[in-house]
Structure 1
């Protein structure tokens, strides 16, 4: 064979070999074989279950994470993006439009899990008279507790500087049942809570009033792991660090206007995504970075802010001379977690049932009535005693308190009937379950 022909044949063979190699590499890339092999190799290696106490969380990784920019294109239903925080106006939405609300809930969920981790809802309460009546109830509770025990401060200030109502949810119901019913009938509560936690959530709340001169908090994360000590946090496996942030939704409703000078919540968007954040927020370099980079949004009475509990945040300093900043702090818990405060729903239902029944007779099972039932009663039937409370017909679980309350108003049962049934449910759910059915007498 002439040399020129041999050269051409060699060149052709080389080209064919190159093309074949590229094809094989392309197929491997398409099938993501390298990643699969890495995963397989990695799966054979046992990784430490807990974060190392001998290494520090990376401040550089934290900076890179929190320097992301929130894009309006990602959250098209937002009214605007302010300081990296999506701001929605509740007046822009028709809550009876299921498709629109479903799209909004998709955005809210994405925000807290994969986005900046915080959003504001303008006009969460459109009727500020409800807020004003609640404030009057809170003032009465604060005055009574101050007289009885000298009052209570909050996490970061004594009662002389700030005022705190622990478990304001229950105290509000017993102080002013009608206003409590109106307040937690707000249909925006289930829209927000369901978007992150799904059905069966439970609401708790604490009122916090930061008076003129009130000092700022240190940056922190919230319940569950956020409330652990330094030593305890590192004992929990990595999966629990991720899980903790998914069990709670944090929020606050502005009960006064909140100009920047009054110290509305300081937040660091995107910080909830930092895996080691529950131990990092306590360290000096992370505290300093937060102090240099946090943002804060002014709010008006009736607005609300909600955020992932793993978001680095802190109450701000009230630098005004004559203005008290007041908020109802909302903490909502997944039925798969434990609430920070104990809510005994039975006396609350006893206090509000007649008001709720009257509301139902006018409105039927409206969004407001449904929202209130979800707020005040337990939506999860476990733990229970399955010998005494077997699964309801056609279901995998027995009735919960919400089921009983919803059925009670729809059937027009009186307060005594509903309270007897709820009391029996509570007793038969106990460990021994051997309880004679009897009516428990509540206050009239």
Structure 2
């Protein structure tokens, strides 16, 4: 019987190696132009949104190496116009916000624009429309997630000398510490990669010395990877065996979020390596009803306090919190709560539980709860 739960201590590097050391057979992907270092590469201009083409890309992302490069995905003029807008946003935020946090790299090594999608739309609507009317971005998103997907983006600029990220997996489970990820059953580990698609559009030429993203092809097929990537033996193997492809300005790379990856070190003296990081989410990641959970929390918190003071078992109260408060930190305002000390800010449920532990008043809890996202 397959494991119902994954634990970091039981992960096997030998099992991982048996998966990732399988070669990529380019003959399996007739729409591709070539394979390089195990990554499947397409000419974006030659792709069509046919079911055959979409199905092939989905196959690469799921059962193949997990990574596709779409060469020439975004026109150079559109890239240049968006780069001007992003640089203006970065300059403005540097003056007002100072050092910006990052998820998997040292704060200050990079320039980050959180919620670059919304900021570009407001700063330059015409450029936004030109950029996201792009058929290559849509094709990759449709292939993995189907229609009605939700787009987000964060601009990342790795400055000269910027250090490599640690290898990791991405959102959702990839943003959790091992002990938290281990609480989710194995079938959720298998589900998590199906909920999002990771992408990056190169806003400058990225030869290897600039530190383009490092990948471990086929690593998405190791089911226990969300609790394995922090282990030293997995990190060492990644450091010795990862793949790293140069990109040209306007190329786009899309990959299964469970692929082990990390930005490389920028070893140049003068190249600010800019990429627009795309994270596309399934339309299905939503509750059935629209609920004002903060209003619920404010209403029931006095009752929670009274029951705690009366000696009611805390586990019972935790279950009531789980049914009312938002238990997940995302989507979040990463401008207001940058991930400097961790991968996410605390959820509302965590704030309520801490307030109970500290016997805070309803007024004190209300001050801690942020304004609802509009």
TM exceeding 0.5: yes
Kindly indicate whether residue 216 of structure 2 is the aligned counterpart of residue 262 of structure 1: no
Q: 1:118 is matched with which residue?
A: 67
Match of 2:57 among 108, 129, 140: 108
Task: Give how far 1:158 is off.
Answer: 2.5
Match of 2:38 among 68, 84, 87: 84
| Contact in 2 for aligned 1:142/1:151 (Cα 8 Å) | no
| Contact in 1 for aligned 2:158/2:273 (Cα 8 Å) | yes
Task: Give how far 1:151 is off.
Answer: 4.1
Per-residue deviation, residues 66-114 of structure 1 (Å, max 9, x unmatched): 0011011101111100000010011223x4xx5xx32211111001111
Q: 2:178 is matched with which residue?
A: 230
Output the CA distance in 2 between the equivalents of 1:91 and 1:204.
Answer: 24
1:245 partner SS: helix
Output the CA distance in 2 between the equivalents of 1:240 and 1:227.
Answer: 14
Kindly indicate whether residue 5 of structure 2 is the aligned counterpart of residue 50 of structure 1: yes
| Contact in 1 for aligned 2:168/2:230 (Cα 8 Å) | yes
Per-residue deviation, residues 289-339 of structure 1 (Å, max 9, x unmatched): 00000001000000000000000000000001111110000000011226x
| Contact in 2 for aligned 1:154/1:208 (Cα 8 Å) | no
Output the CA distance in 1 between the equivalents of 2:80 and 2:7.
Answer: 50
Per-residue deviation, residues 258-306 of structure 1 (Å, max 9, x unmatched): 0000000000000000010000001000000000000010000000000
Kindly indicate whether residue 69 of structure 2 is the aligned counterpart of residue 69 of structure 1: no
Q: 1:329 is matched with which residue?
A: 277
Q: 2:364 is matched with which residue?
A: none
1:282-301 residue pairs with structure 2 within 5 A? 282-301=230-249
Output the CA distance in 1 between the equivalents of 2:56 and 2:131.
Answer: 25
1:73 partner SS: helix
Structure scoring higher RCO (CA < 8 A, sep ≥ 6) equals 2
2:142 partner SS: helix
How many residues are treated as equivalent by the alignment? Answer: 290
Output the CA distance in 2 between the equivalents of 1:219 and 1:283.
Answer: 10
The structure number with the bigger radius of gyration is: 1
Task: Give how far 1:147 is off.
Answer: 1.2
Task: Give how far 1:52 is off.
Answer: 4.4
Task: Give how far 1:249 is off.
Answer: 0.2
Per-residue deviation, residues 238-258 of structure 1 (Å, max 9, x unmatched): 110001011000010000110
Q: 2:160 is matched with which residue?
A: 212
Task: Give how far 1:153 is off.
Answer: 4.1
Output the CA distance in 1 between the equivalents of 2:107 and 2:7.
Answer: 36
1:208 partner SS: strand
For normalisation by structure 2, the TM-score amounts to: 0.75
Match of 2:263 among 281, 290, 315: 315
Q: 1:144 is matched with which residue?
A: 92
Output the CA distance in 2 between the equivalents of 1:171 and 1:108.
Answer: 30
Output the CA distance in 2 between the equivalents of 1:107 and 1:267.
Answer: 20
Output the CA distance in 2 between the equivalents of 1:301 and 1:292.
Answer: 27
List structure 1 runs of 4+ shifted beyond 4 angstroms.
Answer: none
Q: 2:367 is matched with which residue?
A: none
| Contact in 1 for aligned 2:7/2:227 (Cα 8 Å) | no
Per-residue deviation, residues 159-192 of structure 1 (Å, max 9, x unmatched): 3x32000000001111111101111111222211
User: What is the aligned-residue RMSD (CA, Å)?
Assistant: 1.6
Q: Point out where structure 1 has 5 or more consecutive residues left out of the alignment.
A: 1-41, 339-380, 386-444
Q: 2:289 is matched with which residue?
A: 383
